[in-house]
């Protein structure tokens, strides 16, 4: 269950050289507007921005850190991938596309046909393909295996009818990777098939569902006789559950978002150093600065545990779920501190601050609250904290109900 | 939740609840928030007719002779139904500032209008450098040739956008952080030199920055003497805190009840979610938070005109604020994906809780006040 040492603790010269190389690249290649959005905790950040960044990274051969060289990846070691991700976050750069580089690419490399690799990998790597994930349905959330959206065989094609919900970024996506019901005769985990669906196919309609803070990421997607060629099936028919879960396990791992939270915590510190309190600044206040320290410790626990589990590769099972549970908790704690740091200004939801040159508000008032509300999602999606606890109870602790 | 209320108060609470249920279903509330003023004028008129604006003012000023308990009843219902509009701003803050201050002329001039729903007031006290400290006042009011000149900047003024008259805390003498030397000044919103920049708060209410650029006022607009301003301001803010605690408690009960209902019906894994023990315990914790918070609301409300006021109010602000935040976050979480959506109320309750925590001093501020007050150095079990 646990490794007894912290691998990668000793810092090699090579890795520091690599780190420096990444930093220099970001300094030169990261467009200012993207940097600004990242520094505003990604407020207003869109899949088009990710695409743009993927294109820039792709030119350098760095858009898909985990891919092997033969498929166009950089062939980096775990340590290098880890450092790369950290440096992106700490230098205000966007993450690589999680769906493309982190999830569907690796799944295609593992399970895809040669034809599929040729058709999809280049577009995933250079940002041309924007993906959405069609798993959840109105009645299949935590109980994902009960999904009902049907893909019926018709000659070489599948014909999809039904709907998917909570589909992030479906309005931007040109492809969906989705789980569909191809057989309902057996166990509910059987008879699920993973299909890659061209979002331009006739019969697909996308209905946005605004989030409560005003975000535009969520959608419901309706399918009416949507025809998908059999060549777009990833893995064997009816066996999509295990591939879908494999992809989800990749999502779960990066989703502790330690690096992003580190950067966020740094920015809370910067805000606290500017917000006035009595005759000094908030950062001088023992109560508040201890909260920052406490959040830093909580984050460090996740970071160290992530390192320990990440580098003990053969041990990577359900334990990884604990990283998401704790990582998202700290993330929510840190963004709440950002709102708290703003004092009375934390209640504002300013539309447009450009007209306020004569009476400026704290910069972060523009985004901290919205992002704080939006990040309530992190404990719900990609395996809710409750579902992950169930997984740990069952698979790690071997408890049965 | 109606324990200890008189029959009249219970009838009032029921009528108000019915009015809001009938006239302000959630979709209409959302439409109202999207209008320029951020509230439903039609519902507002009916609230005036029901006596909400008049309830807490003495009869001599056009009120119905109630007090803090009436504010508590209204707060609880407004929190449940996510009511927006300048009630807190005009009745609780502006109205009570005038009521507690010392100018009979201004009471006669504005309070009947506030109680009758024809006038709106606001109170401007937050400054950029002050964070949550009421006595940190840089806005100045200085005598010049027999007139007074008011200059400075006030931020996040609730209802500033709608107010006819704004009561401003200003420094007549002393240093920025002196407790002495603060006066309350009544300023017509259309006075020359007053500039308003309107913003939205997360809860849908409108708040403004008020720039005061050499606004001329005369002696009669000073509502307090310099040795009284802070005491009046603290008393008003404490009334407002008791009120927003009641609002937060109503909001919590609503979140708890709807989440309970949802988990009783939502099915996953061929069972209702409410049948999972892990979730049952979470709901029980929400319920406990609601009960504990309501006790704090009652205590703060009843202490408002007693020597225990400061202690009870700060205690309630800490306890209810933290509970409200936790309950709303749990409400979102337990709803799952649908809890993140605009068209379901639970997320809007979370926004309200965040606004409540950011206003009138956060937990650290009130813990600081409590810890440094002599009362906390001795046993205070009563
Ligand atoms: C912002 C956002 C983006 C999303 N993006 C996508 C996407 O791109 N693609 C996609 O397919 N899906 C997406 N989702 C959906 C997400 O995966 C689901 O919301 C999640 O699986 C929960 O399902 P549900 O919403 O139906 O909640 P429910 O399953 O109804 O759960 C409600 C609550 O009950 C808890 N619960 C459920 N079962 C148990 C149990 N057995 N024991 C204890 N607690 C339990 C849950 O944890 C949750 O708190 C997204 C969701 C959000 C909020």
| Distance from Cα A144 to the centre of ligand 1, integer Å | 9
Residues of B whose CB is below 8 A from A213 = 347, 351
Interface pTM (ipTM) of the complex?
0.97
pLDDT at A253: 59
Report the candidate in B76, B78, B52 with the shortest Cα–Cα distance to residue B63.
B52
Q: Report d(CA A308, CA B136) in Å as an integer.
A: 49
> Residue A280's beta-bridge partner residues?
A277
Scan for tokens 């539309």, then name that residue: A351
Report the candidate in B207, B231, B239 with the shortest Cα–Cα distance to residue B95.
B239
Interface residue A211 vs chain B (CB under 8 A): yes
pLDDT at A4: 40
- Judged by phi (left if over 0) then psi (alpha if -120 to 50, else beta), residue B73 lies in alpha
Interchain proximity A218–B153, CB inside 8 Å: no
Interchain proximity B333–A212, CB inside 8 Å: no
pTM greater than 0.90 (yes/no) = yes
DSSP B276: S
User: Which ligand 1 atom is the nearest neighbour of the CA of A136?
Assistant: 11
**Is the same domain home to B155 and B275?**
no
Single residue among B120, B154, B178 that ends a domain in this structure: B120
The closest residue, in CA terms, to atom 31 on ligand 1 is B336
| CB of A136 closer than 6 angstroms to any ligand 1 atom | yes
Give the residue ranges of chain B where pLDDT is below 50.
none
CA triplet B149, B151, B153: central angle to 5 degrees? 155
First and final C-alpha spacing in chain B: 23
Chain A nearest C-alpha distance from B302 (Å): 27
Q: Report d(CA B319, CA B358) in Å as an integer.
A: 14
B2 within a domain of the structure (yes/no): no
B349 within a domain of the structure (yes/no): yes
What residue in A sits closest to B350 (Cα-Cα)?
A373
Q: In which domain, by residue range, is B50 found?
A: 7-120
Chain A nearest C-alpha distance from B153 (Å): 8
Cβ atoms A281, A273 nearer than 8 A: yes
Interchain proximity B156–A380, CB inside 8 Å: no
**Is the same domain home to B346 and B365?**
yes
**Is the same domain home to B245 and B350?**
yes
Residues of B whose CB is below 8 A from A141 = 268, 336-337
**Is the same domain home to B280 and B361?**
yes
B313 within a domain of the structure (yes/no): yes
| CB of B265 closer than 6 angstroms to any ligand 1 atom | no
**Is the same domain home to B242 and B206?**
no
**Is the same domain home to B367 and B240?**
yes
For the domain that residue B46 is a member of, what is the CATH number?
A: 1.10.540.10
Interchain proximity B329–A344, CB inside 8 Å: no
| Distance from Cα B339 to the centre of ligand 1, integer Å | 10
Total structural domains within chain B = 3
**Is the same domain home to B361 and B265?**
yes
CA atoms lying within 13 Å on the CB side of residue A304: 12
Q: Report d(CA B185, CA B221) in Å as an integer.
A: 6
B321 within a domain of the structure (yes/no): yes
Instruction: Count CB atoms within 10 A of the CB of residue A171.
Output: 18
User: Who among B136, B207, B341 is closest to A210 (CB)?
Assistant: B341
B1 within a domain of the structure (yes/no): no
**Is the same domain home to B235 and B283?**
yes
Helices (H), chain B: 7-23, 26-33, 41-50, 68-80, 96-100, 104-116, 229-265, 277-303, 309-335, 346-358, 363-372
| Distance from Cα B336 to the centre of ligand 1, integer Å | 5
Single residue among B209, B225, B241 that ends a domain in this structure: B225
Q: Report d(CA A80, CA A66) in Å as an integer.
A: 10
* Helix (H), strand (E), coil (C) string for chain A: CCCCCCCCCCCCHHHHHHHHHHHHHHHHHCCHHHHHHHHCCCCCCCHHHHHHHHHHHHHHCCCCCCCCHHHCCCCCCHHHHHHHHHHHHHCCCCCCCHHHHHHHHHHHHHHCCHHHHHHHHHHHHHCCCCEEEECCECCECCCHHHCCCEEEEECCEEEEEEEEECCCCCCCCCEEEEEEECCCCCCCCCCEEEEEEECCCCCEEEEECCECCCCCCCEEEEEEEEEEEHHHEECCCCEHHHHHHHHHHHHHHHCCCHHHHHHHHHHHHHHHHHCEECCEEHHHCHHHHHHHHHHHHHHHHHHHHHHHHHHCHHHCCCCHHHHHHHHHHHHHHHHHHHHHHCHHHHHECCCCCHHHCCCCCCHHHHCHHHHHHHHHHHHCCCCCHHHHHHHHHHHHCCCCC
pLDDT at A311: 74
**Is the same domain home to B93 and B192?**
no
Cβ atoms B250, B236 nearer than 8 A: no
Which residue ranges form the domains of chain A, and what is each CATH number? 2-126 (1.10.540.10), 132-243 (2.40.110.10), 255-395 (1.20.140.10)
User: Who among B270, B336, B364 is closest to A287 (CB)?
Assistant: B364
B290 within a domain of the structure (yes/no): yes
Chain B nearest C-alpha distance from A393 (Å): 12
Question: Could you read off the pLDDT tens digit of each residue along chain A, which spans 401 residues?
Answer: 333 444 544 567 899 999 999 999 999 999 999 999 999 999 999 999 999 999 999 999 999 999 999 999 999 998 899 999 999 999 999 999 999 999 999 999 999 999 999 999 999 999 999 999 999 999 999 999 999 999 999 999 999 999 999 999 999 999 999 999 999 999 999 999 999 999 999 999 999 999 999 999 999 999 999 999 999 999 999 999 999 888 877 765 567 899 999 999 999 999 999 999 999 999 999 999 999 999 999 999 999 998 888 777 555 678 889 999 999 999 999 999 999 999 999 999 987 777 788 888 999 999 999 999 999 999 999 899 999 999 999 999 999 87
User: Which ligand 1 atom is the nearest neighbour of the CA of B337?
Assistant: 25
| CB of B270 closer than 6 angstroms to any ligand 1 atom | no
Q: Distances from the Cα of A137 to the Cαs of A162, A168, A181, A264, B206, in angstroms?
A: 9, 13, 12, 32, 37
Interchain proximity B333–A165, CB inside 8 Å: no
CA atoms lying within 13 Å on the CB side of residue B39: 25
Q: Report d(CA A76, CA A271) in Å as an integer.
A: 36
Residues of A whose CB is below 8 A from B367 = 287
Length of chain A: 401
| Distance from Cα A122 to the centre of ligand 1, integer Å | 32
Phi, psi at residue A208, to the nearest 5°?
-65, 145
Interchain proximity A165–B339, CB inside 8 Å: no
| CB of A384 closer than 6 angstroms to any ligand 1 atom | yes
Phi, psi at residue A358, to the nearest 5°?
-80, -10
**Is the same domain home to B284 and B212?**
no
For the domain that residue B325 is a member of, what is the CATH number?
A: 1.20.140.10
pLDDT, tens digit, 9 for 90 and up, residues B226-262: 999 999 999 999 999 999 999 999 999 999 999 999 9
Residues of B whose CB is below 8 A from A359 = 153, 155, 197, 209, 211
Both tokens of B231, joined, read 């005491």
Q: Report d(CA B195, CA B215) in Å as an integer.
A: 10
**Is the same domain home to B181 and B250?**
no
pLDDT, tens digit, 9 for 90 and up, residues B262-282: 999 999 999 999 999 999 999
Single residue among B192, B225, B258 that ends a domain in this structure: B225
| CB of B276 closer than 6 angstroms to any ligand 1 atom | yes
Q: With a CB-CB cutoff of 8 Å, which residues 337-356 of chain A face chain B?
A: 339-340, 342-351, 355-356
pLDDT at A5: 43
Report the candidate in A275, A360, A344, A351 with the shortest Cα–Cα distance to residue B355.
A344
For chain B, percent of residues with pLDDT exceeding 90: 96
**Is the same domain home to B309 and B283?**
yes
Q: Report d(CA B186, CA B342) in Å as an integer.
A: 39
For the domain that residue B163 is a member of, what is the CATH number?
A: 2.40.110.10
């Amino acid at each position: 269950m646990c490794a007894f040492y912290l691998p990668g603790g000793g810092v090699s010269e090579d890795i520091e050289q690599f780190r420096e190389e990444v930093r220099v690249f970001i300094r030169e290649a990261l467009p200012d507007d993207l940097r600004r959005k990242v520094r505003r905790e990604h407020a207003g950040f869109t899949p088009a921005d990710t695409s743009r960044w993927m294109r820039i990274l792709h030119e350098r051969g760095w858009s898909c850190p985990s891919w092997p060289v033969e498929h166009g990846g950089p062939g980096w070691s775990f340590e290098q991938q880890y450092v790369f991700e950290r440096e992106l976050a700490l230098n205000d750069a966007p993450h690589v596309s999680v769906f493309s580089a982190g999830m569907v690419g690796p799944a295609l490399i593992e399970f895809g046909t040669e034809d599929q690799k040729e058709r999809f990998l280049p577009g995933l790597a250079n940002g041309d393909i924007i993906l959405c994930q069609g798993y959840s349905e109105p009645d299949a959330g935590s109980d994902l295996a009960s999904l009902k959206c049907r893909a019926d065989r018709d000659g070489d094609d599948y014909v999809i009818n039904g709907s998917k919900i909570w589909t992030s970024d479906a309005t931007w996506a040109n492809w969906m990777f989705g789980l569909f019901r191809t057989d309902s005769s057996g166990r509910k985990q059987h008879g699920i098939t993973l299909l890659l669906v061209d979002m331009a196919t006739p019969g697909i309609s996308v209905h946005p569902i605004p989030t409560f803070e005003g975000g535009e990421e969520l959608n419901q997607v309706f399918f009416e006789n949507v025809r998908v060629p059999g060549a777009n099936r990833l893995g064997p028919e009816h066996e999509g559950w295990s591939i879908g879960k494999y992809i989800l396990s990749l999502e779960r791992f990066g989703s502790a978002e330690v690096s992003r939270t580190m950067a966020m915590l740094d920015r809370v510190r910067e805000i606290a150093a500017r917000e006035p309190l009595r005759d000094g600044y908030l950062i001088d206040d023992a109560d508040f600065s201890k909260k920052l320290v406490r959040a830093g410790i909580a984050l460090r626990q996740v970071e160290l545990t992530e390192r320990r589990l990440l580098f003990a590769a053969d041990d990577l099972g359900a334990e990884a779920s604990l990283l998401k549970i704790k990582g998202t908790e700290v993330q929510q704690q840190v963004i709440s501190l950002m709102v708290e740091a703003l004092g009375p200004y934390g209640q504002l939801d300013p539309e447009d601050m450009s007209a306020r040159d004569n009476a400026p508000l704290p910069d972060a008032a523009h985004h901290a609250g919205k992002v704080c509300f939006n990040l309530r999602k992190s404990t719900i999606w990609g395996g809710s904290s409750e579902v992950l606890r169930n997984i740990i109870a069952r698979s790690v602790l071997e408890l049965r109900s | 939740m109606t324990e200890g209320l008189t029959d009249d108060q219970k009838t009032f609470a029921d009528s108000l609840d019915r009015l809001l249920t009938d006239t302000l279903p959630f979709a209409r509330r959302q439409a109202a928030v999207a209008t320029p003023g951020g509230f439903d004028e039609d519902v507002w008129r009916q609230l005036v007719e029901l006596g909400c604006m008049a309830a807490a003012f003495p009869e001599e000023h056009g009120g119905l002779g109630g007090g803090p308990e009436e504010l508590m009843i209204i707060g609880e219902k407004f929190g449940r139904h996510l009511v927006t509009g300048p009630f807190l701003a005009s009745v609780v803050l502006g109205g009570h500032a005038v009521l507690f201050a010392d100018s009979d002329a201004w009471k006669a001039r504005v309070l009947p209008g506030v109680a009758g729903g024809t006038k709106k007031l606001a109170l401007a006290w937050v400054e950029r450098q002050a964070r949550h400290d009421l006595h940190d006042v840089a806005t100045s009011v200085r005598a010049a040739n027999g007139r007074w000149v008011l200059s400075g900047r006030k931020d996040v003024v609730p209802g500033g956008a709608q107010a006819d008259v704004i009561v401003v805390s200003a420094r007549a003498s002393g240093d920025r952080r002196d407790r002495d030397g603060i006066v309350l000044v009544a300023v017509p919103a259309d006075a020359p030199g007053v500039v308003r920049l309107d913003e939205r708060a997360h809860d849908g209410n409108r708040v403004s920055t008020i720039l005061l650029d050499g606004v001329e006022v005369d002696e009669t607009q000073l509502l307090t003497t310099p040795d009284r301003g802070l005491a009046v301001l603290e008393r008003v803010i404490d009334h407002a805190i008791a009120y927003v605690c009641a609002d937060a408690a109503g909001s919590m009960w609503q979140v708890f009840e709807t989440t309970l209902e949802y988990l009783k019906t939502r099915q996953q894994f061929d069972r209702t979610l409410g049948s999972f023990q892990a979730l049952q315990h979470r709901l029980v914790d929400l319920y406990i938070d609601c009960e504990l918070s309501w006790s704090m609301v009652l205590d703060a409300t009843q202490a408002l005109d007693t020597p225990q006021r400061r202690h009870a109010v700060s205690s309630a602000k800490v306890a209810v604020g933290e509970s409200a935040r936790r309950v709303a976050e749990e409400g979102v979480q337990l709803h799952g994906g649908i809890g993140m959506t605009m068209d379901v109320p639970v997320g809007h309750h979370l926004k309200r809780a965040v606004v409540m925590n950011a206003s009138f001093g956060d937990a650290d501020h009130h813990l600081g006040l409590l810890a440094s007050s002599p009362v906390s150095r001795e046993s205070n079990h009563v």
